[in-house]
Amino acid sequence: MNISFLCLWAFLSIWVDWLVRSNYGVSIWQNNLGIKAVIKQKGLWQTLLFIGFHMPILEEISFRLWLSFKKYHMIIGFFFLLYIISGLLDTYCESIFRVPFIAVLTGIFWLFMKDISNESMVRFSSKNLNYAKLLSIALFGFMHIANYTPLDVKILFVYPFLIIPQLIAGYYLTKIRLELGFMWSVSIHILNNLLSFMLNIAV
């Protein structure tokens, strides 16, 4: 992803933000829940821990840990990815069967993975790493469409533009994870969320 591409997406995001905000009141730069509203509901420190630490760690495990293609990383990442996805489904979010169901699916995934040799995983990763990176970035970005729930079907076409900041962040966090290591991507993600949190409560 070169600078000209980023500039093009930045220009498009600003234009779409103005267009959608002026017509529908939805903005790229703030989700419709609002951090301040969450603080009123849960309190400052609980919100800070959730946004600044809990979510970055959970998201890095779910979307980038498995990029090592180590089997145990993939199994752990699979469990937490299902956990996040199920949490986005409001109907089942509070179900007592949520974690056991995810555990069963993870167990099935483990049965599938356990007989695959490490050499096969190395060959697979060398051929498919670029696809894995794109999948990681896309999953991370499109998950954040949930920030704008309830979704408005009249503006479905603009939601990919609304998550441009998350797609760009996903690109750089993936690059950091692969070049510097998992703990670096976790640390940068935490720092990013803490700065975003402080800016939101300061404005």
Predicted confidence (pLDDT) at residue 102 exceeds the cutoff of 70: yes
pLDDT top residue among 153 and 136: 136
Predicted confidence (pLDDT) at residue 92 exceeds the cutoff of 60: no
Predicted confidence (pLDDT) at residue 30 exceeds the cutoff of 60: no
Percent of the chain's residues with pLDDT above 90: 42
Contact status, residue 51 vs residue 44, Cβ threshold 8 Å: no
Using DSSP, state whether 32 is helix, strand or coil: coil
Neighbouring CB atoms inside 10 A of 62's CB total 23
Using DSSP, state whether 30 is helix, strand or coil: strand
Predicted local confidence at residue 100, as pLDDT: 87
Neighbouring CB atoms inside 10 A of 97's CB total 10
For residues 118-125, average pLDDT: 89
pTM of the model: 0.81
Contact status, residue 38 vs residue 47, Cβ threshold 8 Å: yes
- Within the chain, strands assigned E span none
Cα distances from 181 to residues 4, 177, 187, 193, in angstroms, run 27, 5, 10, 19
For residues 51-69, average pLDDT: 94
Predicted local confidence at residue 157, as pLDDT: 76
